Chains A and B, each alone.
Chain A
Amino acid sequence: MRAVEALMAALKHEGVDVMFGYPGGANLPTYDAIYDAGIKHILVRHEAGGGHAAEGYAKATGKVGVALATSGPGATNLVTPIADAMMDSVPTVFITGQVRTDLLGTDGFQEADITGITMPIVKHSIMIRDPRDIPTAIHEAFHVARTGRPGPVLVDIPQDLSRADIEYEPIDSVSMPGYQPTRTGNAKQIRLAAKAMANAKRPILYVGGGVVNGNASEPLRELATSDKFPVTCTLNGLGAFPAPHDQWLGMLGMHGTRAANYAMDEADLIVAIGARFDDRITGKLSEFAPNAKFIHIDVDPAEISKNVPAHIPIVGDANEILPKLVGEYKSLKADTSRMNDWWDRIAHWREKYPLTFEDSTDTEIKPQYMVQAMLEATEGQAIVCSDVGQHQMWTAQYYDFPEPRRWINSGGAGTMGFGLPAAMGAQVGCPDELVVCISGDGSLQMNIQELATLADNDIPVKIFLMNNGFLGMVRQWQELFWDGRYSHVDTGNHPDWVKLADAYGMKGMQVTDKTKLVGSFKEAIEHEGPVLVDVRVTKEENTYPMIPAGQAARDMVG
């Protein structure tokens, strides 16, 4: 059969039910095969939109997201989604067309060395040199993307090779001697960790996106509640532990709660699970958690002791390790009362420093209130896809996520323009769920072309635009740290968002009155198709509390 038909067969064998992509010269053969392959394909309006849609699909469903692009600029437009997927460990496979092999290296039309360009930002990449390798390459790509620490894999296929005739046999297992991720966790280390936890008087569970990726939120909840361990999550971990909950301290890090950050600061034992001690978590590294010992559970051995030296490292899948840790911990029958003073201290922080803001007394819409209204209108049951900036932090703070895969954002890379296409991908992956895109007037413009994809495919994403007329987070930093010199952060008065939505063939709404906000959100949710709601919020509101960059948790302001 044609190599591209084998490609489709291999994709189907991997369980692919939808792909996001954009055709061009070098992947014409692939698109010819897609024509009657029986795999759903969504034509995006920019390859970056396709890449982020694949990420949104993967984050919402836990399955591998797939995006396609042609050679040259098509492929380079995938660079940002690939980098984003690498930073947040998103299982994704990117398939690019490449110029014919006789043109490779000649600066041919639409040639770009996408394998070379993406080398530092992929988990793995495969450049096809023999058409008979295509099916194996696809199976290897999916295997690498979804196992171990998930991540992006690029498969680059020269146009002439995709036209070749090859034999295809489905492959059920791949042999990759250089890729053997550790899954189970060392039993002795797990026992030691249980002992340390039983002896800690001021412990805290510090939970990251690895628990979401590893589908380990259930054993995490069991571990937390096998005693009374306080829990905090990173931005990417939100939903891994159900919020609200007695033992939930809120998010930690730069815009985390004081209770969570102060508890990290004073803890005697920090149990890091699927988290990587990013600078947005640690602040000033030399003053991070000065009294703590660290248990570090992660599937990627290179994360262990990368930023913070671990005392008890455990390498493996969280959903393999946590149940064993629960068993070991329970057998020690630790005395919960040892944590009484610790919980008194936490209660004190919670009471003294609740997450709060000064609400308006008139009809002005405060951005934090907008998130509360969103929580109310969605009854906390939406898949919330966020863009990047102040709206992202406020949503992370004020929207309680009851379960994993309901909070989809660009955490590590901080990619503006992620939210809309990611919501599109999440909605395609979860057609029966309510999918909301919370965005800002800066971010939303960055992949605005995907409104056409929503409208044409009737993908009913509800876009709630937090419109303050500023690049708000940059403005906040200029206000706080650059003497209020607002350099190029005013986004002006354009576009007219309601007209824009109308032009793209979807419902547009504008809300300026606080008292009408919940009702408008409900109206948008009840509308059958996609909707864009332009919410005019306070122009100069700051995201607090905050650990200024490079400072320690105890130096939180606001």
Chain B
Amino acid sequence: MGDPGTKEVFRLEDLQATGTRKMGRKHVLSILVENEPGVLARISGLFARRGYNINTLAVGPTDDENISRITMTIDGAEHPIDQVTKQLHKLIHVLKIRDLEPEDTVARELALLKVDADAHTRQEVSQLAEIFGGRIVDVARRSVTVELTGSEEKIEAFEELLKPFGLIEMVRTGEIAVQRGRSET
């Protein structure tokens, strides 16, 4: 008797259930997969079949040409995150999944925002972009396009500020993320 952490007098009533709890926040999953045809289809198919919603999805190469990284965000209030990750792990091409802790993570997204701007308003848009650390990447007679990187919240704040000028369209990459510090994500 007497494992560390186990009471000497054992009571069934004291046992706590594990898993299935919905953690009501946004989760950023960083997934390493083998760079094989159809991997993304397997993952998106799994999500569709089990009724999980993907909020954002970004896929790209890693420093190893055989391995790709998928970064996805999903809503933990809607889906039991441990069940999502366990189902993903069953896919044989999935090598590693990291549910990144927000406070230990640097997450960035790239957005391109095309906004109505003529000679009168161009300067104002440009100033706003500068404040947010964005760059004007295209200027036309009646529009400008701003490139902005940052957190989801920052991009959304910038979007709100541009709306009064007339936001023509916005394209976002979805977040990519890396763990803070020396250790690998």
Chain A residues near B (Cβ < 8 Å): 115-116, 119-120, 123-124, 127, 129, 144, 176-179, 188, 191-192, 195-196, 198-200, 268-269, 293-294, 300-302, 304-306, 309-313
CB contact between B17 and one of A124, A268, A310 (< 8 Å): that residue: A310
A309-B20, A311-B17 known; A178 vs B12 contact (CB < 8 Å): no
Does B6 count as interface, using CB distance less than 8 angstroms? yes
Is there contact, CB below 8 Å, between A305 and B42? Answer: no
The complex places the Cα of A177 from the Cα of B66 at a distance, in Å, of 12
Does B121 count as interface, using CB distance less than 8 angstroms? no
A-B pairs with the 8 shortest C-beta distances?
Answer: A305-B19, A309-B17, A302-B86, A311-B15, A305-B20, A179-B92, A178-B95, A293-B15
- How many chain B residues have a CB neighbour from A under 8 Å? 31
Is there contact, CB below 8 Å, between A178 and B34? Answer: yes
Within 8 Å CB of A124, what residues of B?
Answer: 92
A176-B92, A178-B95, A293-B12 known; A127 vs B37 contact (CB < 8 Å): yes
Kindly report which residue of chain A lies nearest to residue B21, judged by CB atoms. A309
The complex places the Cα of A124 from the Cα of B93 at a distance, in Å, of 9
CB contact between A311 and one of B10, B11, B16, B83 (< 8 Å): that residue: B16
> Shortest CB–CB separation between residue B65 and chain A, in angstroms?
15
Chain B residues near A (Cβ < 8 Å): 3, 6, 10-12, 15-20, 33-34, 37-38, 41-42, 45-46, 49, 82-83, 86-87, 89-95
> Shortest CB–CB separation between residue B23 and chain A, in angstroms?
14
The complex places the Cα of A304 from the Cα of B42 at a distance, in Å, of 22
> Shortest CB–CB separation between residue A255 and chain B, in angstroms?
28
Q: List 13 A-B contacts (CB under 8 A).
A: A127-B37, A188-B3, A192-B3, A192-B6, A195-B6, A195-B10, A196-B12, A300-B90, A302-B90, A309-B17, A310-B18, A311-B16, A313-B18
CB contact between A302 and one of B3, B12, B89 (< 8 Å): that residue: B89
Within 8 Å CB of A191, what residues of B?
Answer: 3
Is there contact, CB below 8 Å, between A310 and B19? Answer: yes
> Shortest CB–CB separation between residue B62 and chain A, in angstroms?
14
Is there contact, CB below 8 Å, between A306 and B3? Answer: no
The complex places the Cα of A144 from the Cα of B82 at a distance, in Å, of 23
> Shortest CB–CB separation between residue B50 and chain A, in angstroms?
9
Kindly report which residue of chain B lies nearest to residue A203, judged by CB atoms. B12
> Shortest CB–CB separation between residue A77 and chain B, in angstroms?
21
The complex places the Cα of A311 from the Cα of B16 at a distance, in Å, of 5
The complex places the Cα of A269 from the Cα of B49 at a distance, in Å, of 32
Is there contact, CB below 8 Å, between A200 and B19? Answer: no
Is there contact, CB below 8 Å, between B15 and A312? Answer: yes
The complex places the Cα of A144 from the Cα of B144 at a distance, in Å, of 54
Kindly report which residue of chain B lies nearest to residue A309, judged by CB atoms. B17
Is there contact, CB below 8 Å, between B95 and A177? Answer: yes
Within 8 Å CB of B33, what residues of A?
Answer: 178
Within 8 Å CB of A268, what residues of B?
Answer: 12
Is there contact, CB below 8 Å, between B94 and A305? Answer: no
Kindly report which residue of chain A lies nearest to residue B90, judged by CB atoms. A302
Within 8 Å CB of A304, what residues of B?
Answer: 18-19, 86
CB contact between B18 and one of A116, A179, A199, A311 (< 8 Å): that residue: A311
Kindly report which residue of chain B lies nearest to residue A153, judged by CB atoms. B92
CB contact between B94 and one of A129, A178, A192, A302 (< 8 Å): that residue: A178
Within 8 Å CB of B6, what residues of A?
Answer: 192, 195
The complex places the Cα of A304 from the Cα of B95 at a distance, in Å, of 21
Kindly report which residue of chain A lies nearest to residue B6, judged by CB atoms. A192
> Shortest CB–CB separation between residue B108 and chain A, in angstroms?
27
Q: Which of B19, B83, B91 has the most CB of A within 10 A?
A: B19
Is there contact, CB below 8 Å, between A119 and B45? Answer: yes
Kindly report which residue of chain B lies nearest to residue A116, judged by CB atoms. B41
The complex places the Cα of A305 from the Cα of B16 at a distance, in Å, of 12
Kindly report which residue of chain B lies nearest to residue A149, judged by CB atoms. B90
A119-B41, A120-B46, A195-B10 known; A305 vs B17 contact (CB < 8 Å): yes
Within 8 Å CB of B19, what residues of A?
Answer: 304-305, 309-310, 313
Is there contact, CB below 8 Å, between B12 and A269? Answer: yes
Q: Which of B11, B16, B42, B46 has the most CB of A within 10 A?
A: B42
Within 8 Å CB of A115, what residues of B?
Answer: 38
